[in-house]
Amino acid sequence: MTGKIKVLLVEDNYMNKVLVREILTINKYEVIEARNGIEALGVLARDRPDLILMDMHLPEMDGITATRIIKSNEAYRDIPVLAITAAVSKSDEEELLGKGFDGFISKPVEFKDLLESISTALRGKKPGA
Ligand code: MN
């Protein structure tokens, strides 16, 4: 037990992945990664993240499909899933919430927005706490 909060980052874009990983690592989160929805489900079968950051457009299986599968499984349903998505309208936001996402982070990803969204989704639970 490290006491760290474990975040599963599902992202196929190299630069986005590096950016998010750096922000989270600097802030004492543990980051595990998957490149698409199928890999994400594979990770869930053997590991238990506290939260999932899910890109929408992914090869093999997209973020919406993967999230639908995650949220339909009782074993994974409680894990918050935040969509990483290009700037969205109010109706896009509502549509995402209807698809099971617990929130969203706008691209380009901003340091403060990312950390606040994660903290909100975890109800204030902090790394190392
Ligand atoms: Mn992508």
Per-residue pLDDT tens over the stretch 81-100 = 999 998 678 888 888 888 89
Provide, for the chain, the percentages of residues in helix, strand and coil under a 3-state DSSP scheme, each rounded to the nearest 5: 40, 20, 40
Q: Which residues surround ligand 1, an ion (CB under 5 A)?
A: 12-13, 55, 57
**Distance from the alpha carbon of residue 73 to the mean position of ligand 1, in angstroms:** 24
Residue 75 lies in a domain: yes
Q: What angle do CA 20, 76, 62 make, to 5 degrees?
A: 55
**Distance from the alpha carbon of residue 57 to the mean position of ligand 1, in angstroms:** 4
**Distance from the alpha carbon of residue 59 to the mean position of ligand 1, in angstroms:** 8
Q: What tens digit of pLDDT does each residue of 17-50 get?
A: 999 999 999 999 999 999 999 999 999 999 999 9
Residue numbers of the domain that contains 57: 6-117
**Distance from the alpha carbon of residue 104 to the mean position of ligand 1, in angstroms:** 14
Q: What 3-state class would DSSP assign to 53?
A: strand
**Distance from the alpha carbon of residue 87 to the mean position of ligand 1, in angstroms:** 14
What does the DSSP assignment read for 81-117?
A: EEEEEE---HHHHHHHHHTT--EEEEESP-HHHHHHH
Residue 1 lies in a domain: no
Residue 103, beta-bridge partner list: 82
Q: What is the CATH number of the domain that holds 43?
A: 3.40.50.2300
- pTM for this structure? 0.92
Residue 123 lies in a domain: no
**Distance from the alpha carbon of residue 11 to the mean position of ligand 1, in angstroms:** 6
